[in-house]
């Protein structure tokens, strides 16, 4: 190649000015998108230096300390959670809770907490007994993760109806062999090897760089930026790549797709790895319950309604009843429990490096019904902000067994999970000498957090029994 012509002074000056302008514009854009919410995300995402986790609000700390904060109000529930539904279990608070609230420990009373910066947030720490937690964790991994509920794995793999957990268990107990039963043990890809890989998003949608430049959601093709195996040029680091998810656009617009536009699924990738079940299960990021969700358009498939697990209908309604006992008629946060119907849900499975970027859950047609959220496994930092990213969020420590309810204005608040905190798995979720069947769950949980959240999609149907959502709703059509 011939040497480029030397630039004249004038040309060089023009280029320098242009480069300067580009730098200024990039800096302005960065400053623009470094919202207080984003700043907080970056603070808790940081691994070097480690964030100060003690900055997070811990609702289990002793009352005397917690209530020094005048923004926090503590109200006793009318009954214990176990009396609202036995599915919350019976707690041996002294042994199990790790609850430092002496008042609650001594007399077994249970409380809900309110925060004046976050109207509509209702927090019930340690809502589930350890054995009730173990039961739900088993269900999340073994039952809810199966068809007809969809998971992120369904995009790329032909997951059998028994589910990946079942394969994982059978390989672990020796009834399925990785060598002799290859065809059954290894879940096949959906796409054939010679098809174009595009299932895991385009190559420029890498949120992992975390350069603080803001809007990531528009880069993601399906929810979820399942940032697991990035098969194309990132193939080498694929299995190390943490999963980052952004649920909904960061704009305040409700995204809608006209009902007559087909909600197409993302294309399967031909390059996702074929993994043994013990590794594939760690790639599971979410499953949807009840009305299935179409992540690319952020709308529900109103014609795809999987039967909602009965116990979750009961548990979520009981939470709304418990909330009613502290925010009854006359309270701005009152929602009659009899009108609450569990119609959709998400189970989020986090590995230690995963995070869920800031978002608002706004796809439900019923914006008044509370969203009920349960945490299991490792603790996390949960950022609870306001109506826009301009509101600095409050970091809250969500611990295993805690119940968080978002209602009123809080239902429309930005929130996210920038960090799962290592070494926070309660001892009662670790291997139990008297229950060897728990071992495989304990092993999974040693690097995981599970969140289960439940929503009502439709406004209550007047004059209709709402006691069992699944009985009144159409069954899953595809
Ligand atoms: O993991 C959590 O606690 C939050 C999950 C969440 O915000 C969601 O699924 O919309
Ligand atoms: Fe959410």
Among all bound ligands, the one having the nearest atom to the CA of 245 is 1
**How many C-beta neighbours within 10 Å does residue 306 have?**
23
What's the CATH number for 53-472?
2.60.120.590
Ligand 2 centroid from CA 419, angstroms: 14
Task: List C-alpha distances in Å: 238 to 197, 204, 469, 476.
Answer: 14, 15, 40, 34
Task: List C-alpha distances in Å: 204 to 199, 213, 234, 338, 363.
Answer: 13, 14, 11, 47, 27
Residue 346 bridge partners (DSSP)? 288, 453
Ligand 2 centroid from CA 330, angstroms: 27
pLDDT at position 108: 80
Report pLDDT digits (tens) over 323-354: 999 999 999 999 999 999 999 999 999 999 99
Torsional sign, CA 396, 397, 398, 403: negative
Among all bound ligands, the one having the nearest atom to the CA of 382 is 1
Beta strands in 198-325 (DSSP E): 244-245, 286-294, 299-305
Ligand 1 centroid from CA 385, angstroms: 13
Angle at 455 between CA 311 and CA 81, to 5 degrees: 50
Which of the residue ranges 35-39, 86-90, 151-155, 255-259 would you say has the lowest mean pLDDT?
255-259
Contact 381, 44 (CB under 8 A): yes
Ligand 2 centroid from CA 452, angstroms: 10
Torsion angle of alpha carbons 57, 62, 67, 68, nearest 10°? Answer: -90
- Reply yes or no on whether the pLDDT at 439 is more than 50: yes
The residue whose CA is least distant from atom 2 of ligand 1 is 451
The atom number, within ligand 1, closest to the CA of 361 reads: 10
The atom number, within ligand 1, closest to the CA of 380 reads: 3
pLDDT at position 98: 56
Residue 378 labelled as part of a binding site: no
The atom number, within ligand 1, closest to the CA of 247 reads: 10
The residue whose CA is least distant from atom 3 of ligand 1 is 451
Return the SS3 of 111: strand
Q: Enter the ipTM.
A: 1.00
The atom number, within ligand 1, closest to the CA of 373 reads: 3
- Reply yes or no on whether the pLDDT at 477 is more than 70: no
Which of the residue ranges 16-25, 217-226, 289-298 would you say has the lowest mean pLDDT?
217-226
Nearest Cα to 45, choosing from 282, 308, 395? Answer: 395
Residue 8 — very low, low, confident or very high, per pLDDT cuts 50/70/90? Answer: confident
pLDDT at position 93: 61
Residue 101 — very low, low, confident or very high, per pLDDT cuts 50/70/90? Answer: low
CA distance 363 to 295: 10
Q: Any idea which residue has 């809608």 for tokens?
A: 256
Which of the residue ranges 15-24, 227-236, 254-263, 304-313 would you say has the lowest mean pLDDT?
227-236
Residue 260 labelled as part of a binding site: no
- Reply yes or no on whether the pLDDT at 391 is more than 90: yes
Arithmetic mean of pLDDT, 384-410: 98
The residue whose CA is least distant from atom 10 of ligand 1 is 361
Nearest Cα to 469, choosing from 348, 323, 293, 289? Answer: 289
**Taking the domains of the chain in order of start, what are their residue ranges?**
53-472
Arithmetic mean of pLDDT, 252-276: 74
Report pLDDT digits (tens) over 371-380: 999 999 999 9
Ligand 2 centroid from CA 415, angstroms: 6
Ligand 2 centroid from CA 176, angstroms: 37
pLDDT at position 263: 84
Torsional sign, CA 161, 166, 171, 174: negative
Residue 334 labelled as part of a binding site: no
- Reply yes or no on whether the pLDDT at 367 is more than 80: yes
The residue whose CA is least distant from atom 6 of ligand 1 is 416
The residue whose CA is least distant from atom 9 of ligand 1 is 346
Arithmetic mean of pLDDT, 453-474: 66
The residue whose CA is least distant from atom 1 of ligand 1 is 451
Pocket residues for ligand 1 (CB within 6 Å)? 247, 346, 348, 356, 361, 373, 375, 382, 398, 415, 417, 451, 453
The atom number, within ligand 1, closest to the CA of 398 reads: 3
Report pLDDT digits (tens) over 63-89: 999 999 999 999 999 999 999 999 999
- The chain-wide mean pLDDT, for the chain, equals 83
The residue whose CA is least distant from atom 7 of ligand 1 is 416
Which of the residue ranges 91-100, 118-127, 206-215, 348-357 would you say has the lowest mean pLDDT?
206-215
Ligand 2 centroid from CA 416, angstroms: 7
């Amino acid at each position: 190649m011939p040497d480029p012509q030397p630039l004249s002074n004038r040309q060089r000056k023009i280029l320098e000015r242009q480069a300067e302008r580009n730098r200024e514009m990039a800096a302005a854009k960065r400053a623009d998108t470094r919202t207080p919410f984003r700043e907080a995300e970056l603070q808790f995402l940081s691994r070097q230096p480690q964030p100060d986790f003690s900055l997070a609000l811990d609702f289990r700390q002793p009352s005397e300390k917690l209530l020094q904060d005048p923004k926090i109000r503590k109200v006793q529930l009318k009954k214990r959670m176990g009396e609202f539904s036995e599915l919350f279990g019976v707690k041996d608070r002294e042994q199990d809770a790790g609850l430092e609230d002496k008042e609650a420990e001594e007399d077994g009373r249970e409380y809900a907490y309110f925060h004046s910066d976050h109207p509509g947030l209702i927090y019930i720490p340690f809502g589930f007994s350890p054995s009730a937690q173990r039961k739900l964790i088993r269900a999340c991994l073994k039952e809810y993760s199966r068809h007809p509920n969809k998971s992120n794995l369904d995009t790329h793999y032909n997951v059998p109806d028994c589910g990946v957990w079942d394969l994982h268990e059978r390989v672990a107990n020796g009834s399925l062999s990785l060598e002799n039963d290859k065809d059954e043990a290894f879940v096949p890809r959906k796409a054939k090897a010679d098809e174009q890989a595009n299932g895991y998003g385009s190559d420029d949608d890498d949120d992992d760089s975390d350069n603080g430049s803001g809007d990531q959601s528009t880069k993601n093709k399906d929810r979820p930026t399942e940032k697991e195996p990035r098969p194309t040029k990132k193939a080498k680091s694929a299995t190390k790549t943490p999963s980052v998810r952004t649920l909904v656009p960061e704009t305040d617009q409700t995204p809608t797709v006209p009902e007559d536009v087909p909600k197409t699924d993302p294309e399967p990738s031909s390059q996702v790895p074929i993994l043994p079940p013990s590794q594939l299960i760690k790639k599971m990021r979410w499953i949807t319950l009840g009305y299935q969700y179409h992540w690319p358009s952020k709308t529900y498939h109103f014609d795809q309604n999987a039967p909602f697990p009965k116990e979750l209908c009961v548990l979520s309604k009981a939470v709304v009843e418990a909330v009613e006992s502290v925010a009854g008629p006359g309270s701005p946060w009152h929602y009659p429990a009899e009108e609450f119907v569990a119609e959709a849900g998400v189970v989020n499975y986090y590995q230690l490096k995963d995070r869920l970027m800031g978002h608002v859950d706004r796809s439900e047609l019923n914006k008044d019904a509370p969203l009920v959220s349960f945490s299991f496994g490792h603790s996390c930092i949960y950022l609870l902000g306001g109506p826009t990213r301009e509101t600095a969020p409050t970091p809250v420590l969500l611990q295993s067994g805690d119940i968080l309810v978002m209602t009123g204005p809080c239902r429309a608040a930005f929130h996210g999970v920038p960090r799962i905190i290592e070494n926070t798995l309660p001892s009662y979720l670790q291997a139990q000498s008297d229950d060897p069947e728990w071992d495989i769950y304990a092993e999974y949980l040693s690097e995981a957090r599970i969140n289960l959240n439940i929503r009502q999609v439709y406004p209550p149907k007047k004059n209709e029994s709402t006691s069992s959502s699944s009985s009144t709703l159409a069954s899953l059509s595809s």
